[in-house]
Amino acid sequence: GQNIDQPTEMTATEGAIVQINCTYQTSGFNGLFWYQQHAGEAPTFLSYNVLDGLEEKGRFSSFLSRSKGYSYLLLKELQMKDSASYLCAVRNDYKLSFGAGTTVTVRA
């Protein structure tokens, strides 16, 4: 089976940093994805990790530890437009299993 856990909600102030954790226990693993989903919209791709370590893309970074079954998404210099749900997804073969998502609210 697939078990992917992430916090339900997080709140942070504009300009701050927020870290969204994701832990997973899955029957197979060949990559971990983070998606951003604004309310009423489709998910859009943010980042991909398959090897241990940190991947940085502008204000967003994602980290993976395969031995711990753990990933995090780091959002720096938060902006109001970053208010959204962030979905952690693990790929096994060609299928993705998603966590329930973390709703991030950015306050002025």
List residues near other proteins by CB under 8 A: 4, 8, 30-31, 33, 41-45, 48, 50, 87, 91, 93-101
In terms of CB distance, is 95 or 107 closer to other proteins? 95
At 106, the amino acid letter reads V
Nearer residue to other proteins within complex by CB, 2 or 12: 2
Q: How far is the CB of 15 from other proteins (least distance, A)?
A: 28
Q: Which two tokens stand for residue 34?
A: 């983070």
Q: How far is CA 95 from CA 19, 33, 36, 39, 59, in A?
A: 26, 12, 18, 24, 28
Measured distance CA(108)–CA(90) in Å, rounded: 33
Q: Which one, 83 or 97, has the nearer CB to other proteins?
A: 97
